[in-house]
Amino acid sequence: LLAAPAVAFVAPAAPRAGTAVAAVQDMEGITMPIGLFDPLGFSNGASAEALQWYREAELKHGRVAMAGFVGYCLHANGVQFPIHIPGDYSTKSPAELWDQVPEAGKWQIVLFVGFLEFFSESGAGGAHYTKGGKPGAFPSFNSPEAGDQFKIPHPVPLDLWDPVGFTKNASPEKKERGRLIEINNGRLAMIGIMGFIAASTVPGSVPYFTEDLTQYSGSVWAPF
């Protein structure tokens, strides 16, 4: 959106492999019996900064995938939220929903997500995740860690991350377990939502699954 945080969207260079092996082995999310799953070798020779960038990307994609997977299941079973952008959402095909959203509504969604991305990369949460900060941590709207200069001027009733304070008084051990659960659930959700999309657009691509999904003839890659 703006030039200032643009560098945060570019993965840092991977100059040396000296500390890379230790950094990879120390990362959360290496779950047995699979262990380190990196078939394309992204972590080979990656710097600690690059690994943190990869983790941030994995967490964001995992969170979106979890929301998308649940949303897909709900709409496929006829469940709709009572408050939504005006439009006809009577289709039973979740993949067709985006086509039913008016163009003005699509821009609202795109710009809102863009704002969230800009705010998370703005420095409001303190140190950047590639500079010692915590990957996946979203800044508070009302009391940002970096100071009141990042505070949203308009009152915001709830923060995006943990709006009701479930983790506020959690022990370090509980938080660590929660992070591992989130990473693994996000990975599974990414596989799940892509499976839904494949099954609803390419008949027979997901065995034992295609006949249960409403087929979609449009392009899932078309933003507008």
Instruction: Kindly report which listed range (61-65, 128-132, 205-209) carries the lowest average pLDDT score.
Output: 205-209
> What integer pLDDT is reported at residue 175 of this predicted model?
84
Q: Enter the pTM of the model.
A: 0.81
Mean pLDDT of 94-110: 89
H/E stretch holding 68? helix 48-76
Crossing angle of helices 48-76 and 172-201, rounded to 10°: 60
- Name the β-bridge partners of 31: 35
CA gyration radius, the chain: 20
Q: State residue 112's pLDDT score.
A: 93
H or E stretch covering 38: none
Q: What is the DSSP letter of 149?
A: G
Gap between the Cα atoms of 135 and 58, Å rounded: 10
Q: Which residue has the tokens 């009152």?
A: 155
pLDDT of residue 124: 85
pLDDT at 130 > cutoff 80: yes
First to last CA, the chain: 18
pLDDT at residue number 98: 87
What pLDDT is attached to residue 108? 92
Residue 1 pLDDT: 34
Q: How high does pLDDT run on average in the chain? A: 81
Q: What is the mean pLDDT of residues 190-198?
A: 92
- Mean pLDDT score, 162-176: 82
**Average pLDDT of the segment spanning 71-76:** 89
User: pLDDT tens for residues 11-64?
Assistant: 444 434 444 555 677 777 777 777 777 888 887 877 888 888 989 999 999 999
Asked whether residue 9 carries a pLDDT value surpassing 70, the answer given is no
Average pLDDT over residues 54-78: 92
